[in-house]
Amino acid sequence: MPRSVAALPGLFRWCASEFLDEAPEFGKGALEALRQPLESGLVRVARTRGVVEYPARTQLVLAANPCPCAKPSGDVDCECAPLARRRYLGRLSGPLLDRVDVLVTLPAMRAAELLHTDTPHESSATVAARVAVARRAAADRWAATGHRVNAEVPGPYLRRPPWHLPARVTRELRRRLDTGSLSARGYDRVLRLAWTVADLDGRDRPDQGDVAEAIHLRTGEGA
């Protein structure tokens, strides 16, 4: 289930949110048109007399079932042919997903998980307070640059001193870039995620564990 979750990496300048449920059901042209706003935070409309730009920095969440039939049991009772499944998820193109910050795969829920009430959960107020502290930390860090949140900081800036992370911290990240499992755009997005993970945990700089968590959030895989 691909999702773009901007709350962790971003904390944008102003909070406008959009949720596209059943994202593969949207037309391919409409989905591909999201690529530019997700990348630049702007919508450009070009006509013969000129180009107009509109601000479009938003929090976007995309949700998708694994296949068109969307059986609650998942693969067990799926009625879709393999080709139909590939075509369905193929509507979310690689270039579009490369601009998504966080990918989360949600497995089917078991009865024990649904009915279990003993595990304590953080309240929304507790999480909101931690996010507010992380926002202030990011704003203080980038105050001299004109940026307010990690999502706004250009990748090249994060790859140069004084914000360049040590090689031992980014070893796995560099390996994934060298092997092609992560694009240059994805590399920078993982860096922004790692800084946000560190902010949420109250650390001044990301460590190796923060980068590993950011890779997992970005790819859905273990580091």
Tell me how many degrees the CA angle 177-200-37 measures, rounded to the nearest 5: 55
Angle 184-200/167-179 helices, nearest 10 degrees? Answer: 150
Q: What is the DSSP string of the chain?
A: ------TTTT--SS--EEEETTGGGS-HHHHHTTHHHHHHSEEEEEETTEEEEEE---EEEE---SSSS--TTGGGS----HHHHHHHHHTS-HHHHTT-S-----PPPPHHHHH---S----HHHHHHHHHHHHHHHHHHHGGGT--SGGGS-HHHHTSTTTPPPHHHHHHHHHHHHHTSS-HHHHHHHHHHHHHHHHHTT-SS--HHHHHHHHHHHHSS--
| Region of poorest pLDDT, from 64-68, 79-83, 93-97, 109-113 | 109-113
| 165-210 pLDDT tens trace | 999 999 999 999 999 999 999 999 999 999 999 999 999 999 999 9
Residue 71 has pLDDT above 70, yes or no: yes
Question: Could you identify the residue written with the tokens 């992380």?
Answer: 134
Show the tokens assigned to 165.
């992370």
Query: What pLDDT score was predicted for residue 74?
Result: 66
Q: What is the value of pTM for the model shown?
A: 0.82
Q: 192, 193, 194, 205: which is closest to 162 by C-alpha? A: 205
| 112-162 pLDDT tens trace | 877 877 777 889 999 999 999 999 999 999 999 999 999 999 999 999 999
Pairing state of beta strands 59-62 and 17-20? parallel
* Under 8 Å between Cβ of 30 and 91: no
Residue 108 has pLDDT above 80, yes or no: no
Contacts of 73 (CB under 8 A, 6+ apart): 108
* Under 8 Å between Cβ of 11 and 151: yes
| 160-176 pLDDT tens trace | 999 999 999 999 999 99
Q: How far apart (Å, rounded) are the C-alpha atoms in residues 24 and 37?
A: 18
